[in-house]
Structure 1
Amino acid sequence: MSYIPPLERMRFVIEQVLDAPASWRAMPDFAEVDADLAREVLEQAGRFAQDVIAPLNGPADLQGCTWQSGGTVKTPDGFPAAWRAFVEGGWPALPCAPEDGGQGLPQLLNAALFEMLVGANHAWTMYPGLLHGACEAIRHHAVPALRERYLPRVVSGEWLATMNLTEPQAGSDLGLSRTRCEPVDAAAPVANGAAVTVTGQKIFISGGDQDMTDNIVHLVLARLPGAPDGTKGLTLVLVPKILPDGRRNGAWCDGIEKKMGIKGSATAQMRFEQAEGWILGEPNAGLAAMFLMMNSARLHVGMQGLGHLEAATRIASAYAQERLQLRAPSRPAGSDAAAARGPDPIAWHPAMRRILLDLQARTEGARVIAYWTALLLDEAEHHPDAAVRAQRHDLVALLTPVVKAFLTHLGHHGANEALGVLGGHGYVHDWGIEQHVRDSRIALIYEGTNEIQAIDLLMRKVLDRPGRLALLLEVLRGEAGTLDTLAGTAADGDPAGLARWAALLRDEATTLERATATLQRERAARPDLPFLVADDYLHALGHTLLAWAWARLLRASLGDLDAARRQRLQALCAHGRDWLLPAARWRWTRIESGVPELAWPGL
């Protein structure tokens, strides 16, 4: 099935739910960005996703990438031409700073772009997925000569970039990395911009080689002679595939992985043999420099979850409306009386109806969470008030692991549920849903597995920094207060149930606060407790954020919407409240009631 971008619903979130144009007006850097410009960007992006890369998705999955002798990679047919069209359209430069050759548009619009790109063709989207993070790393850490040489070409998309972290013996534990970098001039100070040679192996490198750009900018974590053990001894090095004098550098692709999904994305095994490069940032501070790239990548990975969830939901909904099977125990009001003898669309059957409503409610709520996070990132980077920037930075830090882990979980498991709606047809390639199941699985793993994201959220972002959670509690209770005010002034008796939603949000905030206090109190006696329940905490917090998102959608539905859209949106929000939130309460209960010790495996 072809990809159809959800432009109307995306615009609704941007304009009505979040009122992003008002936020942009408060930031001088976005003074010229308004709703009309945002709509034009979304429409053009949707056209590119639907017309250019979506038709390549299924064929590329079957064809895959080809590793060739000499260490080069051929991407699927049509990928290089699509990339040239993407570059000509100026899309890589969308969120980059104008002084670097970028368009200087909000991260929110870039997030919406990537939702559509992933929904249309995840494998192709892997190639530009790291560009913005690479731009940030080079922009903030490169010496002027390196920045002038490489940043404009990465911003424009003329050259693509990679992130080289993982090694065979060092997966998530980067402190075990062995790749070495040696100063070219042993007598010169080892400092930012110093020339070095890099030797070592890296694995699972997305786009480690490809035929879409003439050069590739590899950002590599390596260890200088005498560097401290662990992550404190890692240095970030910029290693180009082609050196400035035109020579082929010693950065080689020794093979590509045969994967479960995203087969059009070349996942490379990289070998660096005295590869020439330059230190990026301060020596032995490479992980901090790389985190600019990794945090950007984590938000993009969250958009991958949303893109798959949206696409899978649409496929399942369209199929369920057309597929006639058996007689439904009840029929919607106004259904065709001539069809009363059945068979009925499977969308009318309660089991299928519940799955479809689950998928739709999660999709609409997840989009609000993701777009809100992107809007907060814009404010953290561009708001003229330093206090606002600091507050938004703290909220983004808190939300980033949730967006990465919770949305990718919803995306993969949602695609899997959508496959079940299609039955046997879902299990074959022709309908496209099985590819979404396979392609979406990797997003739960890379840029820090979801388990690591949960631990990062609970330990570093919540328990070690309680002020950040206080900001989120203020958001939840503030929305409850707004809903109460609206309910009190409603002339028609509050038919949307605003007061009930206000009470729900207050209850969610109280539960979140109480569960966190429990963990804070008991972590000294049971140091492993937060690690045991971190996944529960992240998913429970994700559902609390969904409750907030549905409340925001409900409030926005009271605006200028036609009756059918208002009814649909309010029904989805009510479904989330009545069916999905209760199903997640056990996670809070487990955290508060205490968990047993875990037995050691093999006993």
Structure 2
Amino acid sequence: MPSYTPPTQDMQFVLHDMLKVAESDLPGYDELDREFTGAVLGEAGKLAAEVLAPLNPVGDAQGCTLENGVVRTPDGFRDAFEQVRAGGWPALDCDPDYGGQGLPYLVSTAVGEMFSSANMALNMYQGLTHGAYNAIHAHGSDDQKATYLPRLATCEWGGTMNLTEPHCGTDLGLIRTKAEPQDDGTFRISGQKIWISSGEHDMAENIVHLVLARIPGGPDGVKGISLFIVPKFLVNADGSLGARNALSCGGLEEKMGIHGNATCVMNYDGATGYLVGEEHAGLKAMFTMMNEARLGVGLQGYAQGEVAYQNARDFALDRLQGRDVTGEKNPDGPADPIIVHPDVRRNLMDQKAFVEGARAFTFWGAQMIDASHRAGDEEAEAAISLLTPVIKGFLTDKGFETTVLAQQTLGGSGFTREWGLEQFVRDARITMIYEGTNGIQALDLVGRKLPKDGGKAIMAFFDMVKGDIKEMSGEDADFDSAFLEPLKAASKDLQAAGTYFMQNGMKEPNNALAGSYDFMHLFGHVCLGLMWARMARAARAALEAGDGDADFLNAKIATGRYYMARQLPVTAAHLARIQSGADPVMALDAGQF
């Protein structure tokens, strides 16, 4: 059975040594000293390791069942979810006016990583609810906020997002679900939605569905889409639950992974719905959920990589096979542990370097969200908007790759169910698909985010990297050589790719679109290179000051060196593919495939 140990030491390092959260002037960050964050992460980690993680294989084996219109979750899920609720974890960063604790989103992100590593399928129930909370908080009326937010914040009620229909996924302009106006100001919602995570289950008294639908007579395409609150049970004026609404779960999807989460077909048969915001402005409101969801999915990707890496590392330390070519390391045993072999080390270093870099990248992104929401920082808002498709796309691609590397470390054992690695592989695979496939993330990055406001956000990113390199250079020649020179080279590759798009993408858009996926990965590697330079500098400073665990800090620097030497140079290959243009990609006629 797989195990999970919360990486609280590394989280504390990122929060306090790299991001220096306690020194930030962002509202609420003054409370985030080491003792406070250590207590929060410690309690959350205990819940993750002792309650959620043991149920992960249970949820995978049992899955969910549909009985007379009710979805039953796996054994133990309801009790575990109640413990999550009782601890106040879903409300961590929610508005105190509606029952939340008002902590920074960054703290919630760190807790969310541990819960996702421990039991991704179970954590999704509260994750979708949090997204619904945010959409209503941002776009709902005062009455809607008062009615729904307190119970969504605590997960007493669940929440979902309903976009996809049987005939359309990414192209939301093709949505057919109807919303017919009624005399009392409500709408009758009719249609079918598919792939609705947490769409029906037995862990909440009510489920608040946010549904995209069309009001008859509205504009065609995405400009005619509106957003509606469609609760499973109608809510009376006093807040109590009323009649069952005209909606139902029509079936459960049989999936490759995340078996413990109910992925539902939802049927709306004239259900009562309540308009959120203005008519025909539903897409904007729904993207309040989508943007947070995409950062959360990027987190899921590396969180699965983290737990897979932990189990691969432990296996490599224990498994005896072969002898070290430089001399036996376990003379009293029949063989040496496989961690002595360079190729196993390479495998593990790839995993470790990615996971720790990804954590720093995601926490940095969460801090930008806090700066945007808590301080109205427009530059931070522009930066996280640019980086969201990179966080979602790059971290889930590499997160899945990391789970496969971890599985490979175990050899044949990794292919068997009892060791748990094959579940991590299957669960991680969905992160590359939902909340917008990674191909869509790449197109969004290159087609919309890159040229937005004349490329202002990407130019600000380049300036920031240059500023970091300038600030960090000259302190230590070895550091400059190992970290800053590779970062500078990778950043130049990213700039060259952007220049290629500007010069060739306008006259032939396919030249940009054919290179979009490579650009997303090139950008991701530059971001992780930047994170590793910052972390290595922070670790070096802590060592010089005599603060912290020297073994941990030295390992941090060595891992960063590995990333810069062995992973970051791939930016040159991505640039070469981008500069090859669209011709190699588009060479075949459709019938030749």
Give the TM-score of the pair, scaled to structure 1. 0.93
| Residue 192 of structure 2: aligned partner | 201
> Which deviations, in whole Å up to 9, do the C-alpha atoms of 1:226-250 show, x marking residues without a partner?
1111111111000000012410101
What corresponds to 2:568 in structure 1?
Answer: 581
* Equivalent in the alignment of 1:158: 156
Q: Which amino acid counterpart does residue 327 of structure 1 have in structure 2?
A: R
1:119 to 117, 120, 137: 117
CA contact (8 A) 1:477 1:505 kept: no
Which residue of structure 1 aligns with residue 463 of structure 2? 474
Give SS of 1:9's match: helix
Determine the structure 1 residue equivalent to 2:139.
141
CA contact (8 A) 1:17 1:552 kept: yes
Query: Which position in structure 1 is the counterpart of 2:66?
Result: 67
Q: Is the 8 A contact 2:22 2:32 kept in 1?
A: yes
What's 1:266 paired with?
Answer: 262
1:163-562, aligned counterparts within 5 Å? 163-185=161-183, 194-245=185-236, 246-330=242-326, 335-336=329-330, 338=332, 343-383=335-375, 386=376, 389-465=377-453, 466-487=455-476, 494=477, 496-558=478-540, 559=542, 560-562=547-549
Distance in 1 separating the partners of 2:93 and 2:310: 28
SS at match of 1:126: helix
**Any unmatched runs of 5+ in structure 2?**
237-241
> Is residue 122–residue 304 contact of structure 1 (8 Å, CA) maintained in 2?
yes
TM-score (norm 2): 0.95
**Equivalent residue number for residue 567 of structure 1:** 554
Report the secondary structure of 2:168's partner residue. Answer: coil
Q: Deviations over 1:318-367 (max 9, x none)?
A: 101110111222359xx45556xx52111111211110111111111111
How big is the shift at 1:499? 4.6
Give the residue type in structure 2 aligned to 1:586: A
- State the match for 2:52 in structure 1: 53
The Cα offsets for residues 272-320 of structure 1, whole Å up to 9 and x where unpaired, read as 0110111001101100010001111111101101110111111111101
- Shift of residue 481, structure 1, vs aligned partner: 1.2
Contact 2:228–2:276 (CA<8 Å) still a contact in 1? yes
Structure 1 SS opposite 2:515 = helix
C-alpha displacement at 1:87, in angstroms? 1.0
Given that 2:95 and 2:102 are in contact with CA atoms closer than 8 Å, whether structure 1 keeps it comes out as: yes
* Structure 1 residues 373-394: Cα deviation after superposition (integer angstroms, max 9, x where no partner): 00111111112xx5xx000001
Deviations 1:150-188 (A, max 9, x none): 111111211010000000001111111100001111xx7
Equivalent residue number for residue 491 of structure 1: none
Question: Is contact 1:481–1:502 with CA below 8 Å preserved after alignment?
Answer: no
Which region of structure 1 is more displaced relative to structure 2, 196-205 or 124-133? 124-133
1:142 is displaced (CA, Å) by: 1.5
Identical amino acids, percent of aligned pairs: 42
Indicate yes or no: 2:20 matched with 1:19. yes
Specify whether residues 31 and 573 from structure 1 end up closer, same or farther in structure 2 by C-alpha distance, changes over 3 A only. closer
Question: Structure 1 stretch 291-300 or stretch 321-330: which is displaced more?
Answer: 321-330
Supply the distance in 2 between the matched residues of 1:322 and 1:168 (Cα, whole angstroms): 48
Q: Equivalent residue of 1:130, what SS?
A: helix
State how far apart, in whole Å, the 1-side matches of 2:338 and 2:470 are.
Answer: 41
Contact 1:366–1:546 at 8 Å: present in 2 too?
yes
What SS does structure 1 have at the residue aligned with 2:533?
helix
**2:26 matched to 1:37?**
no
Deviation at 1:505, TM superposition (A): 2.3
Partner secondary structure for residue 238 of structure 1: strand
Give secondary structure in 1 for the equivalent of 2:277. coil
> Is the contact made by 1:93 and 1:101 (CA closer than 8 Å) also made in structure 2?
yes
Greater Cα shift, 113-122 or 510-519: 510-519
Contact 1:479 1:502 (8 Å CA) reproduced:
no
Separation of aligned partners in 2, 1:343 and 1:29: 54
CA distance in 2, matches of 1:272, 1:503: 57
Which of 95, 100, 103 is matched with 1:102 structurally?
100
Structure 1: stretches of 5+ with no match in the other structure:
189-193, 488-493
* C-alpha distance in 2 between matches for 1:572 and 1:350: 15
Conserved 8 A contact 1:484-1:499: no
How many angstroms apart in 1 are the aligned matches of 2:569 and 2:203? Answer: 48
SS in 2 for 1:216: strand
Q: Hey, what's the Cα distance between the residues in 2 that align with 1:165 and 1:562?
A: 48
Contact 1:33-1:105 within 8 A present in 2 as well = no
Q: What is the rounded CA distance, in whole Å, between the counterparts of 1:345 and 1:556 in structure 2?
A: 32
CA contact 1:254–1:269 (8 Å) conserved in 2: yes
Q: Which region of structure 1 is more displaced relative to structure 2, 460-469 or 49-58?
A: 460-469
Deviation at 1:17, TM superposition (A): 1.2
- Aligned partners of 2:3 and 2:311 also within 8 Å: no
Partner of 1:84: 82
Task: Provide runs of 4+ in structure 1 moved above 4 Å.
Answer: 335-339
Aligned-pair CA distance for 1:28:
3.2
Matched to 2:281, the amino acid is A
Structure 1 residues 30 and 557, CA gap change in structure 2 (3 angstroms): closer
1:590 aligns with 2:577: yes
CA distance in structure 2 between the partners assigned to 1:345 and 1:17 by the alignment: 34
Q: Output the amino acid matched with 1:537.
A: F
Find the aligned partners of 2:353 and 2:436 in 1 and give their Cα distance.
27
Contact 1:308 1:415 in 2 (8 A): yes
Tell me, what secondary structure is at the counterpart of 1:219?
A: strand
Residue 570 of structure 1 aligns with an amino acid whose one-letter code is I
Work out whether residues 483 and 501 of structure 1, in 8 Å CA contact, stay in contact via their aligned partners in 2: no
Q: How many residues align?
A: 578
The answer to whether the Cα contact below 8 Å between 1:330 and 1:348 also exists between their aligned partners in 2 is: no
CA contact (8 A) 2:21 2:29 kept: no
- Return the letter of the residue paired with 2:198: G
Contact 2:194 2:265 in 1 (8 A): yes
Residue of structure 2 in register with 1:28 after alignment: 27
Q: Alpha-carbon deviation of 1:29? A: 3.9
Secondary structure, aligned partner of 1:524: coil
Q: Is the alpha carbon distance of 1:563 and 1:155 closer, same or farther for their aligned partners in structure 2, counting shifts above 3 Å?
A: closer
Aligned equivalents of 2:589 and 2:21: distance in 1?
Answer: 50
Cα distance in 1, alignment partners of residues 28 and 332 from structure 2: 60
Cα separation, 2, equivalents of 1:562 and 1:42: 18
Read off the aligned partner of 1:200 and give its amino acid letter: G
CA contact (8 A) 1:215 1:241 kept: yes
**How far does residue 18 in structure 1 lie from its aligned partner after superposition?**
1.2
Matches of 1:197 and 1:88 in 2, distance apart?
Answer: 35
Q: Secondary structure at the match of 2:89?
A: coil
Q: Indicate the SS of the match to 2:272.
A: strand
Q: Distance in 1 between matches of 2:59 and 2:413?
A: 20
Secondary structure at 1:157 match in 2: coil
SS at match of 1:13: helix
Partner of 2:5: 4
